[in-house]
Structure 1
Amino acid sequence: MRRRGVERMRRYEEAMEGAIPTSRIAGSGRVEIPGLGEIRVSGSGYISQEEIRIGGSGELPGGLKIGALRAAGSLKVKGKLEIGEGHLSGSARIEGPLRAGELKAAGSLRVEGEAEGERMELSGSSTINGKVELKDSLTSEGSLKILGDLRAGNLIELKGGFDIGGDVSTKIFRAEVRRESRIGGEIKAEEVEIESRRGGRLRVEGIRGESISLEGVICEDVAGGDIYIGEGCELGRVRYRGKIEIHPKAKLRSPPERMKQES
């Protein structure tokens, strides 16, 4: 009988771990999350399993799984975070990996791990110390730093300056480069469009695509179907299958090579 009682208590504790009691906070307060730690709020907050809303300063324990997170002000998450959707404005620091169905962040965002989900919309300064994998899209305006690869199923659109440590792959890649930027690996997309603004330049190891349009790009190896090479480009080897157009002020180390059409 005693063994059965211990087993029932174990199952109860497992079921309760991470359960979030519904609470409201005005001023400052704490809410205990069994097995994870405390939620701390200075300002105002609404806390439930379905949604957490914080205005002011908030600290969350790692390991939370919630439907929605809305925070305006300063937010710190002490470990892994899993949310259905997130709306963050101000300063947010996640001290672990992030999984989010949809994330919108404005201000300063720092993720100390990899990030995955459906889509992300970032503005301001964003740093992700790991790879990023999204089923749909990533849009970013401002400063973006990603330590590893960046992959999105449909669209990657970047405006400002960015530093991506690995490969970038998607269907459509668009970039408006406003200052010195870098991609440590290759861009692989059906459509690649890179524009230079305010003298911004992009250094990238390689570019692969069906339709490629480049400005202000420094790259060793470009290969695709139709290619436009615009002003400010400095390229090594260029291979194309369809049409090619080269701006008079672009620099190529060697003449472009026509590839055989695939049968």
Structure 2
Amino acid sequence: MDTRSDLQMSGIGRSQGGSYSHVRLDGMSKINGDTDCISLDSNGTMTIDGALQSESVSINGTAKVEGGLNTNRMTLDGVLTIKEHAVCNELLTVNGRLSIGRGLDGEKIEIFGSLKTRNDVQCEVMSVHGGFNIDGLLNAGFIDIKLNMPCRVQEIGGENITVRRLKKFSVIEQFVPVLSAKLQAHTIEGDEINLEYTEAEIVRGNDIRIGRGCKIGRVEYKNQLLRDDDASIGAVHQI
């Protein structure tokens, strides 16, 4: 029989890690040690000096997890730093800024703010309305990127990949290109690929559309290639 108790802290609080039922933190809180709970709700500033495992996580404010994180559902409205690997089995929604020291595995990932990882991101569905910086591979079945911020990744692999820009070109982007809302990648590979405002060395797939604002070094396609007059492509090969 599960005899877990709830953990609640308000103001400035400190507690030991362990197994809990529901964790509610309001204010400045620190938990020393690995924490296993059914739900965690943090409002304010939270530090967990260890790993966190919870069925659901809600963070509003600033938080740091010194170990890894494993959850089914997480909503971030603020800033979260995870030092190790992160797993979100069902739905991850990032409305603020998420930084992960290693990689991220999930089912569905929604990025309305920004995501930074030191390793790969693997999921079934990746929906981006903000920006990301992935120091590895982004691998997903369905990838939909609506560019509002700079996006950078080493490689992208997926079945259906779409990259579009929602906002108009701003004056500041003309003088500070690093702030430009575009995707930068070395390799993009998928079945159906539709790109805008993308810079890549290699794009490889079955059906490919290279739209406006793209600079691609080499395109390798199997069935069909469509290109915008504004797109720049170095070499084209049908495979």
Distance apart, 1:198 and its partner CA:
4.2
Alignment of 1:136-151 (within 5 A): 136-151=107-122
Distance apart, 1:178 and its partner CA:
2.0
Which one has the largest radius of gyration? Answer: 1
Q: What's 2:92 paired with?
A: 120
Q: What's 1:12 paired with?
A: none
Distance apart, 1:62 and its partner CA:
2.5
Q: What's 2:157 paired with?
A: 188
Distance apart, 1:111 and its partner CA:
0.8
**Which one of the candidate residues 193, 208, 214 is aligned to 2:189?**
208
Question: Contact (CA 8 Å) 2:34, 2:48: kept in 1 or not?
Answer: no
Distance in structure 2 (CA, Å) of the matches to 1:87 and 1:120:
10
**Which one of the candidate residues 93, 110, 122 is aligned to 2:81?**
110
Distance in structure 2 (CA, Å) of the matches to 1:22 and 1:191:
43
Q: What's 2:198 paired with?
A: 217
Distance in structure 2 (CA, Å) of the matches to 1:90 and 1:27:
14
Aligned residues: CA RMSD: 1.9
Change (3 A) 1:29 1:206: closer
Q: What's 2:70 paired with?
A: 99
Q: Which amino acid aligns with 1:258?
A: Q
Change (3 A) 1:221 1:109: same
**Could you list the runs of 5+ residues in structure 2 that have no partner in the other structure?**
170-180
Q: Which amino acid aligns with 1:81?
A: L
Higher strand share: 2
Q: Which amino acid aligns with 2:117?
A: I
Question: Contact (CA 8 Å) 2:125, 2:143: kept in 1 or not?
Answer: yes
Q: What's 1:56 paired with?
A: 27
Q: What's 1:172 paired with?
A: 142
What does the per-residue CA deviation read over 1:29-76, in whole Å, with 9 as the maximum and x for residues that have no partner?
A: 555x4xx48xxxxxxxxxx82110122222112211111101111111
Distance apart, 1:143 and its partner CA:
1.9
Distance in structure 2 (CA, Å) of the matches to 1:23 and 1:244:
57
Distance in structure 2 (CA, Å) of the matches to 1:59 and 1:127:
19
Question: Contact (CA 8 Å) 1:179, 1:198: kept in 2 or not?
Answer: no
Percent identity at matched positions?
25
Q: Confirm whether residue 73 of structure 1 aligns to residue 53 of structure 2.
A: no
Greater relative CO, 1 or 2 (CA 8 Å, sep 6+): 2
Distance in structure 1 (CA, Å) of the matches to 2:12 and 2:132:
37
What does the per-residue CA deviation read over 1:89-147, in whole Å, with 9 as the maximum and x for residues that have no partner?
A: 1111111111111111111111111101313111111111111111x111111221111
Q: What's 2:102 paired with?
A: 130
* Pairs aligned (count): 224
Question: Contact (CA 8 Å) 1:125, 1:142: kept in 2 or not?
Answer: yes
